[in-house]
Structure 1
Amino acid sequence: MIALDGLVGIWQYFFPRSFYEDFPTVRLDPPYNEHLVSDVGGLNIALVGVLIIAAVYLEQRLVTAALTGFALYSLTHFAFHVRHFDHFSLRDAVGVGTGLGFELVLTVALLVLNLRMGRRVAPVAAR
């Protein structure tokens, strides 16, 4: 999740035209807008930075905040795409929907696991 989104963010930010032309299905949403693509790339890089810091420190509130932010991003990204498959081939629609759906489910699962683990640890720390 972190590596893939980091790679995509770097590609979007530093090579927006290549991302638009070469990343599967992106060119199906014309017109090309360098500002928009590079801004989204910067946001992806920022989200990955927060996720990396949360993974390094593993502090429950920080992990909750990072995963909540990423879950909201994943949800809105998934929701947009499942409503806009008009110009997609069946293969591209299934690939995009499955990939984004998996990312959302994995993020929510990690968030739920983090919250459950935090509840178990909190009473012990309070002693």
Structure 2
Amino acid sequence: MNQQDSRNHRAPAKSLWNKKDLLFIAAILLAAGLAFLFFRPQPSESLSRAEISVDGETVMELDLSEDQVLTVDGAGGGYNRIQVRDGAVSVLEASCPDKVCVHTGTVRYPGETIVCLPNRMIVTVIQGGN
């Protein structure tokens, strides 16, 4: 056999993953999924509140355990219709052109926010007592 023939004959390719590697990865993914299910924050409807601010000033606080719909006057003559239902808050309607606040959907966990930049309105879910 000459030198050129020996270069063309390569050893069979070794698999990148073996069975033990795949089982280990599957176990890690399963553990991560279970941890997410058991340790994610749960809303406490009796303690969760929503703070609404316009132009940097807090204009009202809402108890998320009381369903209601109200209109908030924004800066520059705009408005946002806010809905509190089932322990969550959302913007139903807004006078802004882009409607990002409406498309944000519902928020219920402390720290989550809905922002309407044109009307300078921010809804923030906060942890608070009655």
TM over 0.5: no
Q: Which has the higher helix share?
A: 1
TM-score bracket, normalised by the shorter chain, equals under 0.3
TM-score (norm 2): 0.23
